[in-house]
A and B are shown apart, each in its own frame.
Chain A
Amino acid sequence: MTNRLPWWMGGILMSGLLLLTFSIFGADRPIGASTYVPYFAGIIFDLNPENYSYLKEIEAPASWEGVMLLGALFGGFVTSVFITKSFRLSLIPSGWKTYKNNSVVSRLLWSFFSGFIMIIGARLAGGCTSGHFMSGMSQMAISAMIFGAVVMISLIITGRLFYNTKGEK
């Protein structure tokens, strides 16, 4: 019994899921995963959509992604408990301890900060890994290719500067 799928199986399955989602027999739209976040923020902070043009603009896709997200939480939870058996409560990843530091406070502060700029970045670009990279590149969209290239470069430069890969334990 194996507790994880190889990358090529993941790629084939994800491709099948994207095709189902795009198909007129499925949802007739791409997969996206970042539009729901500002919409949820609007609900939590009780913003009236009538007063905020952005909330009105994203209502339909954000609702669709919101329902999909509930499914993803459920699917992720069930898979982690019964298949990968990786469910456990934790505050700091092992890789952070190896390549950054052992401080939970540092991890949580950086998590908060990076989560904040992640959503601003995704909304400025109009998509994230799902919407641009997977769905957009699959449509050969030039917008997705520009986003993908900028993200890859920014990701690798940040990795170089942010983590300590020399003093490995």
Chain B
Amino acid sequence: MADIVFVNEHTSGIGDRLIGIVESVIHQEHGSVALVFLIGVIFGGIIQYTRVDKFEKIAGFSILKDTIIPKMLFLTVGLTSIALYFMIEAGGASYHVKPIMLQGLIIGGILFGISMAILGKCPGTGPVSIAEGRMDVLVGAIGGILGGLVFTLYYDDFFKPLMGESLGKVILPDLFKGHETLTVLIFGISITLIAIFIPKLELFDEADLCKLPPDERPDKK
């Protein structure tokens, strides 16, 4: 009984709250804690190994001097859309679609695009940058945590009304009833072709290149 009272008080420490996060994952039907951690390790590893966490890649795309980000993103989407569709048809997965909240998507998208260009990171690549020692991104993360605090504090009064009403969870094949498979194939193949045909531009960081032997420098090939 005493324990329950303690938990309900506003004094449970940060340690307890962090344990709460792990417990929440254990009780969800979304993979074991080890698997979720492993997904993160692979996610961080791919982002780091392809170097897409670099300022020169994301901010470089904003000034159209580097196209690795759109090429990799479009390829990922093109391949996954087709494979995921057939996986769902076979009963091996299901769609988890986010609702269309027009105002939230547009205002949020504008803010997100501005910040992505300036910070040169996004919420997935930022932590990977911090892990390789980018202290400016850590300052960005502190800004992000305060942004998250403001969002939480004013969610009911300000942000939720700002997001607008949901127009439903619509996916492209819903708009072409009877031709779902064809729609998916056309979408997936087009997006894959876009990824291949976007001209490859790269902006390199001398601070990384100077550590490599001259014949391994990608900018000299």
Contacts and interface: CB of A to CB of B under 8 A. Distances in A.
Contacts of B132: 76-77, 80, 84, 86-88
Q: Is the interface of A mostly helix, strand, loop or mixed?
A: helix
Interface in A105-128: 107-108, 110-128
B130 A141 contact: no
SS class, residues of chain B in contact with chain A: helix
B80 A138 contact: yes
A53 B155 contact: yes
B188 to A, nearest CB: 9
A62 B140 CA distance: 19
A50 B94 CA distance: 31
Contacts, number: 517
Interface in B98-117: 98-102, 104-117
B178 interface: no
Contacts of A158: 62, 113-114, 117-118
Interface string A128-169: 111111111111111111110111111111111011010000
B193 interface: no
Contacts of A127: 98
Given A44-B14, A67-B36, A155-B117, A7 B152 contact: no
A125 B37 contact: no
A124 B162 contact: yes
B107 to A, nearest CB: 6
B189 interface: no
Given A4-B49, A60-B24, A93 B128 contact: no
Nearest to B212: A3
Given A114-B119, A114-B143, A158-B117, A64 B30 contact: yes
Interface of B: 8, 10, 14, 17-18, 20-22, 24-25, 28-31, 33, 35-56, 59-65, 68, 71-77, 79-81, 83-84, 87, 91-102, 104-120, 122-137, 139-153, 155-156, 159, 162-163, 169-173, 183-184, 187, 191, 195, 200, 203, 205-208, 211-212, 216, 218
Interface of A: 1-15, 17-31, 33-34, 37-48, 50, 52-55, 59-60, 62-64, 66-80, 83-96, 99, 104, 107-108, 110-147, 149-160, 162-163, 165
29 contacts: A11-B76, A14-B72, A23-B87, A33-B127, A41-B146, A47-B153, A48-B10, A60-B28, A62-B21, A68-B43, A71-B38, A73-B40, A74-B40, A76-B47, A94-B55, A110-B118, A111-B137, A112-B142, A118-B112, A121-B108, A122-B108, A124-B108, A125-B107, A128-B124, A129-B123, A132-B98, A151-B113, A159-B63, A160-B62
Given A7-B72, A17-B43, A33-B122, 17 more contacts: A3-B216, A11-B75, A19-B84, A64-B30, A75-B43, A76-B127, A76-B129, A87-B132, A91-B136, A95-B56, A121-B113, A138-B81, A139-B95, A140-B187, A153-B113, A158-B114, A159-B117
